[in-house]
Structure 1
Amino acid sequence: MDVSQVLRMNGGDRDYSYSNNSFLQRKVISMTKPIIDDALANLYLDMNHPKNLIMADLGCSSGPNTLLVASELIKSIDKIRLKLGSDELPEIQFYLNDLPHNDFNTIFHYVSKFQKNLRNQMLSNSSPTCYVSGVPGSFYNRLFPRKSIHFVYSSYSLMWLSQVPEMVNTNKGNIYMSTTSPPSVIKAYHEQFQNDFFTFLKCRAEEVVSGGCMVLTILGRQSDDPCSKECCYVWDLLATSLNDMVSEGLIEEEKLDSFNIPQYTPSPKVSNEVEKEGSFVIDRLEVSEVNWDASTDHNLNLSGEHEQGYNMGKCMRAVAEPLVLSHFGESVIEEVFKRYTNNIKVSMSKEKTTLVNVTVSMTRKG
């Protein structure tokens, strides 16, 4: 699997698009806003009322959340500026980064509307000068000129690996780390994350100015156990669906055994990786939880087929469908996600189901 070619969220604005099924991710953005506000306030003070700010959202994906992030960051800067008595809002360059196959077209289609809405939402009467640009490419490589970025943001992106880990043993019957995975598989996943995260930090250390900030929210875990249910359960349910289809002859067993999700969910000990790389100092590290039912837009009156679990199924389809499609083919897609959604429904009806977020705020050393 060439991750750079197949890892993307479902584009467009159809029923299973990420654009229409990312309420859970939006909830996470809202939950971590106080950490972002603190980081921006410190940055603004350190820069002594800057005339311009260069900001980047890495792993921006597509849909309303992408420009929501930009909007919230700019409104936060305006609030800080007013509090400190600055005369004018700095000009802001906002870079949106994701892999080349991301649906950038949908983002750019809404930029003019975003800028118009932003003018109406500012606390002051200022008309913000904001330039939006797309930057296709892997954030495990350099993306920007040296010492050019003031603030880096990323949410629910850095758990994705640059490649499926190279394994000496088959992860038989599994598609991710599991309690039944060989120890060598768990080791391979951990080492791939360590290498990738170190590379990410090294690249950003080149690009972020001295005193610049990063706020990273990563899908993670509280437990030291990388196979704990809190981080692996959502993929175990997909594995169950695929295994059932193997047993019924709908999918080849060899096909399943060669499929692994390129993701690693770290614990708060991710701070060790930051200290090891050495270019950033950690200002805050917080762990939070979000319920699976946050995938539902609670402003809607849902009933019937939109029962508990249905929307989490759609959310996971928006995330996982390109990976599953590239490996198993189009003929089984509907059946895979029908079963997967049903497994999610059953689980949510029986127990509390949550995802864990690890948020790290850090500053570039001088």
Structure 2
Amino acid sequence: MRLMNMALPIVKNTINEMIKNHLTSFEKLETFKIADIGCGSGPNTLLFMSEIIDTICNLSKQNNNHSLEISIVLNDLYKNDFNNIFSALSSFYEQLKEKYGYEFSQKCIISAVATSFYERLLPCKSLHFVHSSNSLHWLSQVPENLDNKGHIYMAKECLPTVFDAYKNQFYKDFYSFLNKRSQEILPTGRMILTLIGRSILEPSSNDCCCIWELLAQSLLDMVSQGLIKKEDVDSFNLPLYTPYNDELKAIVMKENSFDLEKIEVYKCNWDPDDDDEDYNNIFDQKKSGEKVVKCIRAITESLLVTHFGELFLDKVFKIYAEHIDDHLKMEKTKIINLTICLRKK
């Protein structure tokens, strides 16, 4: 939710600018086609769609009520709970009817494609706008031949080969993503992509690695208590990469299908409800730690269950919360979010 709110003004301004100035005359445009990449299955999916529909409806009012059809394609892996989304669509359409009227609600068509966003999703030149939030830092796979014992991601103590392996996998995946989307987006179409990154070129900076190294330490604590095997921790690595903005620029330039319009960098605290920038300000580290762990558990639980099984999860996340608490007493480490705006050549 926090990531989407940061990028939402850019999304709205971009759609306004596209329709008014660069895409085609509003009167000739019949359907505005959107893809939401890595959509998830929670309420934020419908919230994003609602905001986009509001934006386009307001444009319609400014153009003699010439209302566009809106085609929204949702994408995520096949394991995503699309049934949860589709079950909510009935009430979503009812809300559209109440807000905009029956005729407008019938012009909003929502569908889904369940596959990896590193593959082709849609027909050639079928999209005006692509959005992705909180997805593209996830890799298509864990880097191959990774010798990373005692860690689950990049860390200061890792071998240089670990950093290279993660970087190379991200370059391969992000290049593939750009190439596949370039075939699906119309000329002058746009993409707005928001992902977790890092603030400096150094790949082991705290703002991208610390939160995962504390999880690794929690798993090793479980090893010391005889609750899991060390070889299981040694063989577990997260399939993600948090890039520096210059790395994104380099891949965009090399792939050469898009013009880079802007990159916005946002910094926020680990605790989504802690907006205070003053480290000296008193806050409840324990409650903040619990919120952080809740967020991390939501995005890592399925990976951990697949590798370790379900029996130890409550215990490891309890230990993890203690490590987070201890860290927050010393430092309010930031999460770095990057929003990249691209125009199809």
Alignment TM-score > 0.5, same fold: yes
Question: Which amino acid counterpart does residue 177 of structure 1 have in structure 2?
Answer: M
User: Could you say if the C-alpha distance between residues 111 and 306 of structure 1 is closer, same or farther in structure 2, counting changes exceeding 3 Å?
Assistant: farther
1:132 aligns with 2:132: no
d(CA) in 2 for partners of 1:121 and 1:279? 39
d(CA) in 2 for partners of 1:80 and 1:283? 23
Deviation digits for residues 52-78 of structure 1, max 9, x if unmatched? 111111000111111111111111222
Runs of 4+ in 1 over 6 A off after TM superposition: none
C-alpha distance in structure 2 between counterparts of 1:121 and 1:268, whole Å: 40
In the alignment, what sits opposite 2:279?
none
2:289 alignment partner, one of 302, 309, 328: 309
The letter for the 1-side match of 2:53 is I
Report which stretch shifted further, 209-218 or 283-292: 283-292
Which residue identity is paired with 1:292? Answer: W
Distance 2:325 2:73 in 1: 38
Q: Is the 8 A contact 1:58 1:98 kept in 2?
A: yes
Question: Aligned match of 2:255 in 268, 277, 289?
Answer: 277
Using the TM superposition, give the Cα deviation of residue 118 of structure 1 relative to its aligned residue in structure 2, in angstroms: 3.4
TM-score by length of 2: 0.91
Q: Which range moves more in the overlay, 287-296 or 238-247?
A: 287-296
Is residue 328 from structure 1 mapped to residue 298 from structure 2 by the alignment?
no
Give the conservation status (yes or no) of the 8 Å contact 2:7–2:339.
yes
Q: Provide the C-alpha distance between the structure 2 equivalents of 1:344 and 1:306, rounded to a whole number of angstroms.
A: 8
Q: In 2, Cα distance between the equivalents of 1:214 and 1:27?
A: 19
Which of residues 163, 176, 185 in structure 2 aligns to 1:199? 176
Report the 3-state secondary structure (helix = DSSP H, G, I; strand = E; otherwise coil) of the residue aligned with 2:110.
Answer: strand
In structure 1, what is the equivalent of residue 77 of structure 2?
99
Structure-2 residue corresponding to 1:66: 45
1:109 Cα deviation after fit:
1.1
Given the superposition, is the C-alpha separation of residues 172 and 223 from structure 1 closer, same or farther in structure 2, using an over 3 Å criterion?
Answer: same
Report the aligned-residue RMSD.
2.2
The one-character-per-residue Cα deviations of 1:26-57 (angstroms, maximum 9, x if unpaired) are 11111111211222122212222122111111
8 Å contact 1:92–1:131 — kept in the other structure? yes
**Given the alignment of the two structures, is residue 43 of structure 1 paired with residue 23 of structure 2, yes or no?**
no
Matched, 1:56 2:35: yes
Contact 1:314 1:341 in 2 (8 A): no
- What is the DSSP-based 3-state SS (H/G/I as helix, E as strand, rest coil) of the residue aligned with 1:176? coil
Q: Deviations over 1:194-223 (max 9, x none)?
A: 000000001001111111110000110121
Match of 1:293 among 256, 268, 271: 271
AA at the equivalent of 1:70: M
Whose RCO is larger (CA < 8 A, sep 6+)?
1
Note closer, same or farther for the CA distance 1:226–1:306 as it changes in structure 2 (3 Å cut).
Answer: closer
Task: For 2:177 and 2:84, locate their aligned partners in 1 and report how far apart those are by CA, in whole Å.
Answer: 27
- Residue in structure 1 matched with residue 325 of structure 2 by the alignment: 345
Identity in percent: 42
Counterparts in 2 of 1:341 and 1:121: CA distance versus 1, 3 Å: farther
Give the alignment partner of residue 267 of structure 1, picking from 219, 223, 244. 244
Superposed counterparts of 1:5-84, under 5 Å: 26-45=1-20, 46-49=23-26, 50-83=29-62
CA distance in 2, matches of 1:130, 1:306: 44
Q: Which amino acid is the alignment partner of residue 338 of structure 1?
A: K
- In the alignment, is residue 111 of structure 1 matched against residue 89 of structure 2? yes
For the residue of structure 2 that corresponds to 1:243, the secondary structure is: helix
Determine the C-alpha separation between the residues in 1 that align with 2:329 and 2:66. 52
> Is the CA contact 1:176–1:232 (under 8 Å) kept in the aligned structure 2?
yes
| Contact 2:286–2:325 under 8 Å retained in 1 | no
Q: Secondary structure at the residue paired with 1:37?
A: helix
Aligned twin of 1:299:
none
Counterpart CA distance in 2 for 1:264 and 1:119 is: 42
Q: Is the 8 A contact 2:34 2:130 kept in 1?
A: yes
| 8 Å Cα contact 1:97-1:135 kept in structure 2 | yes
One-letter amino acid of the structure 2 residue matched with residue 163 of structure 1: Q
Does the CA contact (< 8 Å) of 1:167 and 1:185 recur in 2?
A: no
With normalisation by structure 1, the TM-score equals 0.86
Give secondary structure in 2 for the equivalent of 1:209.
strand
SS at match of 2:130: strand
Q: Which runs of 5+ in 2 are unaligned?
A: 275-283
Deviates more, 1:243-252 or 1:74-83: 74-83
Q: Distance in 1 between matches of 2:227 and 2:9?
A: 48
- Name the counterpart of 1:14: none
Question: Shift of residue 180 of structure 1?
Answer: 0.8
Are the aligned partners of 2:74 and 2:111 in contact in 1 as well (CA < 8 Å)?
A: yes
Which structure 1 residue ranges, 5 or more long, are not aligned? 1-25, 297-303
The alignment covers a number of residue pairs equal to 332
The match for 2:343 is 363
Retained in 1: the 8 A contact 2:206–2:333?
Answer: no
Q: 1:177 to 1:362 in 2, by over 3 A?
A: same
8 A contact 2:285–2:328 mirrored in 1: no
Q: Is the 8 A contact 1:198 1:277 kept in 2?
A: yes
The aligned counterpart of 1:15 is none
Give the whole-Å Cα distance in 2 for the aligned partners of 1:322 and 1:92. 34
How far apart are residue 307 of structure 1 and its match?
2.1
Q: Distance in 1 between matches of 2:102 and 2:121?
A: 34
User: Corresponding residue for 2:68?
Assistant: 90
Contact residue 295 and residue 312 of structure 1 kept, 8 A: no
